[in-house]
Structure 1
Amino acid sequence: MKIVMIGAGYVGLVSGACFAEFGVDVAVVDTDPAKIEALKAGRIPIYEPRLDHLVDDNAREGRLTFTTDLDEAMQGAEAVFLAVGTPTRRGDGHADLSYVFAAAEQVARAAKGPLVLVTKSTVPVGTGREVKRRVKAVRPDLDIAVASNPEFLREGAAIGDFMRPDRVVIGIEEGEAGARAEAVLKRLYRPLYLIETPIVATGLETAEIIKYAANAFLAMKISFINEVADLCEKAGADVQQVARGIGLDGRIGRKFLHAGPGYGGSCFPKDTLAFARTGQDLGTPLRLVEATIAVNDSRKLAMADRVIAACGGSVAGKTIAVLGLTFKPETDDMRDAPSLEIVPKLVAAGAIIRAFDPQGMNFARPLLPAAVHYANNALDAVAGAEAAVVLTEWNEFRNISPEKLAGAMSGRVMLDLRNIYDPAAMREAGFIYSSIGRP
């Protein structure tokens, strides 16, 4: 079986490599020649654990190829996946679907016979029908079935999520075209069916809403526990114990109940915003989603004020170490990371910032103020600092003992915005320690 994956970004590259690992022949197509040449040379443009080995192994076996030539790639392909970006559209918060529509029209022009066209990109409800309409406008003669197959990949754990997912969602059209698309996709996902992965077959619109609803619900859990953390601080309670107490309820679940400086990344910020806009357009406002967005936006800005308050009300001329810049560990993704709100505000208040992130510094440099100094490692970042702030919960930060931190720093102010350290151990080491939602 052969498929084409259009888009060599995060979703396209991970999905293409994983399908190749299933034994499928995968041609990954991208319009960026430099990116394709880098992939052919074995250079991976993103950081995702194990992805480099997966790409290398399958490219060597000939199952995974990279090209800019769509016509060549589509020879013999049974399905084409659209895995292009859907960023927030400037001005109104809707998803920008221009890349999706352009790719679909290119596929229509290049198609030589019957085809299944699958949207892997995160798209608002109704996009599949519009893709079909545009394809038919370009090629009225083309026998094409349109399907939706949303991804549920967590950055830092994407390969495991693909290989052993909670479920696979397949959205199909009605009638013969839908049956054909369902048959192709179920054959493609047969390795997962054999390990009893639930395959959820729905209509096109339902599949598109499932993706947005899932991300919005998880984002809502994060904003909820962050507000509970604020309450815990005022009441003298421990948010981690609260999260455990409610998370053990099977109706709630333990995941995404970790208090912190707010969510970021490639999905939650743009998808919650697009979902909220869709609700407004259809006359069914999603008030909880709108509140989730507002809570998260205000929280990031409030974290900088928390740092300033912990430093006595002023950071002017003070050296502050920032540990972690990416929105989460095990990724180099800086999109909507809390650091992009917190660090500039501290710099504007006169702070001298020494930052370290194991993977994200190259991407952080063009996004953060030029005055930020980038350290060689975590201990280098805290050396001589009067205060330190943990923004990303990388394991290597957890592994530094409080005594080592205290020995390197000149001051003793520590703001642990990810709750990675033990408060008692930090106080014993002499720190003026504050965390999120803990006494």
Structure 2
Amino acid sequence: MKIAMIGSGYVGLVSGVCLADFGHRVVCVDKDASKIEALRAGRMPIYEPGLDTLVATNVAAGRLSFTTDINDAVAGADAVFIAVGTPSRRGGGHADLSYVFAAAEEIGQAVTKPVVVVTKSTVPVGTGDRVETILREACPDHEIAVVSNPEFLREGAAIEDFKQPDRIVVGTDDPRAQAVMTEVYRPLFVNQSPILFTGRRTAELIKYGANAFLATKITFINELADLAESVGADVTQVARGIGLDDRIGPRFLNAGPGYGGSCFPKDTLALLQTAEESDVSLRIVAATVEANDLRKRAMADKIADALGGDLAGKRVGLLGLTFKPGTDDMRDAPSLAIVPALLERGASVQAFDPEGMEQARAMLPGISMCDTAADAARDADVLVLLTEWDLFRALDLHALARTMARPILVDLRNVYDPSIVARAGMTYHGVGRGDLSKA
């Protein structure tokens, strides 16, 4: 099949290269000429493990190409995916759908035969209806079916998620579109990946519902961590105890500094906007958003408490800046709330992240970027583990303690066993871990 992927950002690029690896002929489109030039030269605009190799393999095989010319990409295509950004608009959290609608109009003008247009971007319920109207007005001469096909990719594991999905959701009632989408994903049937055909609006709501539920699960365990810390319990064992219940499950029960990234923050806000427009109250989701915002800011207080409450003149070593390991994505990362709070209280910050420092430089002015974890710890009054990169899971704590002004570790991801930290001569502060001698 010939497939056009409109948008070569995170979702579009990963989806496009994986579809090419399935054997389809895929053309990835982007208006950013410098991005397309870089991709043609084998330079990735994002960090995702294994992506560069997969791109090179499929370009060499002639299955994958990149262009700024949407007309050439769409002409003769069997399926056209819209994978452009839908960021939150300022004020209220509405999803900005201008890129989606602009893409739909351009697709309509470029269509040369009956085609299936697939919305891969995360969009509010009812967006597919508007996309269909735009396409029909722009292209009255060809049959166009509009499908919702939400993505469920985890940054840092996106290729695996695309190739071995736990489900494929396709929103359409059109038999021809169902046949096309079945052919698009036919290579996954070998792995018996379940494909769920639903109505288009149902598919759109599935995406938002999934992200809101996971965001709520994270926020729940974070609030439970505060209680555990207060009463002298260990939230890591609480999470294990409740996660062994197969009705709950262990994933997304790791207490920490709050969720961030490109999906959960904007999607929960967009879902609340949809609910408000429909005169429906989503009180749990609203509480999740509020609690998560407060959570990030509260982490600066936790760091200050480890230093007796006063940050003035103190040096903070920070390990990790991105919102999670395995990505260079800084969008809504907890560091964007924590670092300014530390600076406002008079601290200086020296940080190291394996992949995120280039993006972070512009977003976190006023901090020092270090070349290694050891450099971030040197002369620090406190060392804060903020992003749980594998690189930070086996630090030489004895060596770090010797170089610090005060050997204090604030472990915001509960990576370390407190007893191991203590044997290294460091004072340990975790999340949701009270007096562990009584826990």
Settle same-fold status: TM greater than 0.5.
yes
TM-score range, shorter chain: over 0.9
The structural deviation recorded for 1:76 is 2.2
Cα distance in 2 for partners of 1:76, 1:63 equals: 15
Aligned 8 A contact 2:147 2:171 in 1: yes
Name the residue aligned to 2:190: 194
Say whether residues 1:379 and 2:374 are aligned partners: yes
- Describe how 1:20-419 pairs up with structure 2 within 5 A: 20-172=20-172, 174=173, 178-369=174-365, 371-419=366-414
The structural deviation recorded for 1:433 is 1.2
Q: TM-score, normalised by structure 2?
A: 0.98
Cα distance in 2 for partners of 1:341, 1:326 equals: 12
The structural deviation recorded for 1:291 is 0.7
The structural deviation recorded for 1:277 is 1.1
Cα distance in 2 for partners of 1:310, 1:2 equals: 58
The structural deviation recorded for 1:430 is 2.3
Cα distance in 2 for partners of 1:92, 1:102 equals: 22
* SS at 2:289 equivalent: helix
Instruction: Show structure 1 runs of 5+ residues with no match.
Output: none
Aligned 8 A contact 1:321 1:353 in 2: yes
**Which letter maps to 1:269?**
P
Q: Out of 416, 422, 437, which is 2:432 matched to?
A: 437
**Which letter maps to 2:244?**
L
Identity of counterpart residues, as a percentage? 60
Aligned 8 A contact 2:322 2:356 in 1: yes
Aligned 8 A contact 2:357 2:369 in 1: yes
Cα distance in 2 for partners of 1:410, 1:255 equals: 37
Q: RMSD of aligned C-alpha atoms?
A: 0.8
**Which letter maps to 1:116?**
V
* SS at 1:252 equivalent: coil
**Deviations 1:280-300 (Å, cap 9, x if unpaired)?**
111111111111101100000
**Which deviates the most, 25-34 or 406-415?**
406-415
**Which letter maps to 2:156?**
G
**Which letter maps to 1:418?**
R
**Deviations 1:161-195 (Å, cap 9, x if unpaired)?**
000000000000x3xxx111110010010011122
**Deviations 1:332-369 (Å, cap 9, x if unpaired)?**
00000000000011111111111000000000000012
Name the residue aligned to 2:437: none
Aligned 8 A contact 1:108 1:142 in 2: no
Cα distance in 2 for partners of 1:164, 1:413 equals: 41
Aligned 8 A contact 2:233 2:433 in 1: yes
Cα distance in 1 for partners of 2:402, 2:417 equals: 17
Q: Out of 428, 433, 438, which is 2:423 matched to?
A: 428
* SS at 1:365 equivalent: helix
* SS at 1:169 equivalent: strand
Cα distance in 2 for partners of 1:418, 1:92 equals: 30
Runs (4+) of structure 1 moved beyond 3 Å? none
Aligned 8 A contact 2:75 2:110 in 1: no
* SS at 1:34 equivalent: helix
The structural deviation recorded for 1:75 is 2.8
Q: TM-score, normalised by structure 1?
A: 0.98
* SS at 2:261 equivalent: coil
Cα distance in 2 for partners of 1:277, 1:249 equals: 33
**Which deviates the most, 141-150 or 11-20?**
141-150
**Deviations 1:261-318 (Å, cap 9, x if unpaired)?**
0000000000011011111111111111111101100000010111112111111111
**Which letter maps to 2:114?**
P
Aligned 8 A contact 2:111 2:139 in 1: no
**Which letter maps to 1:26?**
V
Aligned pair count reads: 434
**Which deviates the most, 424-433 or 377-386?**
424-433
